[in-house]
Structure 1
Amino acid sequence: MTISQARNIGLPLMNLVKMGGTPILQQLQLEEKLLRTTSDNWCIINDGTNDPTIVMGMSGRPAELLELEPVIQDQVPVIRRFSGGGTVIVDPGTIFVTFICNRDDIPGIQPYPRPIMKWSGELYKEVFSGIGDFHLRENDYVLGNHKFGGNAQSITKNRWVHHTSFLWNYDVRNMAYLKLPSRAPEYRSARNHVDFVCRMKDHMSRSTFIEKTVEATRNYFMVRPLQLETIDTSKTLFTPSTRLLSKEELSSALQSQTKKFCLERVQ
């Protein structure tokens, strides 16, 4: 018996699904379905998505979070996901890691945001051991004082999702689609998007990050790799809440924003 095999004895099972370039809408809808219609633990790693896409939390309001005129003009897709959290723009330079877990399969972790964040911070501390000044700051993963990982969660009675978008690389031009959020972590100190974030590629290769993340997961689970094609949820009726916002919805939000601005100027 190898050391790795011995370590896995008694650990709960986790299915590992690796993808590359899967559209983020497809990924999020899969995660939501796995959360609500299965009883397994899942780790989903998607190495990049196909096109630049804006993803908002379930309560996000486009007029407050987005520069709507260029978003509409450039036809940037906008998704409202099933989890909470903030707004991000993702593209081929983003690496996504998602954990879908049963509440009782990680001893001592209560199904609330802070305990889950603390657990994930410990897991990624191992991934980034010896690489920069990694730590969990408020709800972000940072190197020094710069964010490179944004998190969101969805918690049900017996299960939870913790998913992260990691900025391995990003296009500065895409950041212009996002407004500076009204609610931001204190350490941001009103910095703009470019000054606030950093690139993982300056510290670690994509393949090394993915390999180390899988290895760190083995400290908590017996990991079983699966191919995406083998996941059969077709027999389960399910309508995801994660969806693409229509051009009409975005245009309506822009019109309301413009009308509000005009009324404020008159007053």
Structure 2
Amino acid sequence: MKIEKFPEYKLDEYIKEKMNENEIYIQGEYQNRTIVVLGRVTPHSSDVNEARCTQDAVPILRRKGGGGAVLLFPGVLVLSCSFKKDNRAVDLMGFLEESVKKIKEGILNYMDVPLEIRGNGDLCIGDKKILGSSIYSTKDYITYYCTLIIRGNLNQISEYLLHPSKEPEYRKGRKHEDFTTSIEANVNIADEEKLFTSIIRSLGTININDLILVD
């Protein structure tokens, strides 16, 4: 099955343009179709149900950043946050941790929900994952990507993704539907636009200069 490039590739020139005008560029959109997205080196043969994807015409795409395979579907919010770094080295793990921390703060500024940061850039309600993260860096800018499950049918994840070849310790072998949850399954979202705005504002407080590595 042919694996296409995730649309972030097409955004490179656009992000470069935005980085010429701004120090930071944040964007977010709700997923409107079902697709599988692989990490930069995720093996598709062991992590993806290719036969089912072909049967249902679900595209398999590959992103530039790391991380495992994810299923995007209506109800998932896809966020990206890019910072100008001007050929400077950035503490990648520090950047990842700070980005997830800011999303957590943005959600908590709007609603009361028991959030925990776990694994490598995962945000969870209790021990169930609602957000996964990835980062990608060029000499000019660094971008944080994440997928946040607002709502949706989580049972479909197991239809298109196999059990991952690598998993965080806290997953403990759980099936996709037992490992993930959505915000809406745990708390009522009174105003989704206000939640989105709160997250964006919180991400906007990241100071990339605090994460620059000094020789």
Say whether the fold is shared (TM-score over 0.5).
Answer: yes
- Where 1:59 maps in the other structure, the secondary structure is coil
Query: Which of 68, 82, 90 pairs up with 1:111?
Result: 90
Change (3 A) 1:154 1:220: closer
The code of the aligned residue for 2:196 comes to: I
Shift of 1:128: 2.7
Distance 2:35 2:57 in 1: 10
- Where 1:128 maps in the other structure, the secondary structure is helix
| Equivalent position of 2:117 in the other structure | 136
The code of the aligned residue for 1:195 comes to: D
| Equivalent position of 2:135 in the other structure | 153
Conservation of the 8 A alpha-carbon contact between 1:35 and 1:160: no
- Where 2:160 maps in the other structure, the secondary structure is coil
Query: Which of 70, 75, 78 pairs up with 1:93?
Result: 75
Q: Superposition pairs for residues 1-267 of structure 1, below 5 Å? A: 25-26=6-7, 28-36=8-16, 38-39=19-20, 40=22, 41-46=24-29, 48-103=30-85, 111-129=90-108, 131-139=112-120, 140-175=122-157, 176-201=159-184, 202-203=186-187, 205=189, 206-220=192-206
**Structure 2: any 5+ residue segments left out of the alignment?**
208-215
The code of the aligned residue for 2:70 comes to: V
| Equivalent position of 2:213 in the other structure | none
* Structure index of larger Rg: 1
Identity of aligned residues (%): 20
| Equivalent position of 1:262 in the other structure | none
Distance 2:165 2:95 in 1: 25
| CA RMSD of superposed structures (Å) | 2.4
Conservation of the 8 A alpha-carbon contact between 1:45 and 1:95: yes
Change (3 A) 1:220 1:133: same
Change (3 A) 1:193 1:60: same
Distance 1:192 1:135 in 2: 20
Shift of 1:71: 1.2
TM-score by length of 2: 0.79
Change (3 A) 1:31 1:143: farther
Render the CA deviation track for 1:33-72: whole Å, top value 9, x for unaligned: 34456434210111x2221111111222220110121111
TM-score by length of 1: 0.65
**Structure 1: any 5+ residue segments left out of the alignment?**
1-23, 222-267
Distance 2:176 2:89 in 1: 33
Distance 1:66 1:217 in 2: 31
Distance 1:159 1:199 in 2: 31
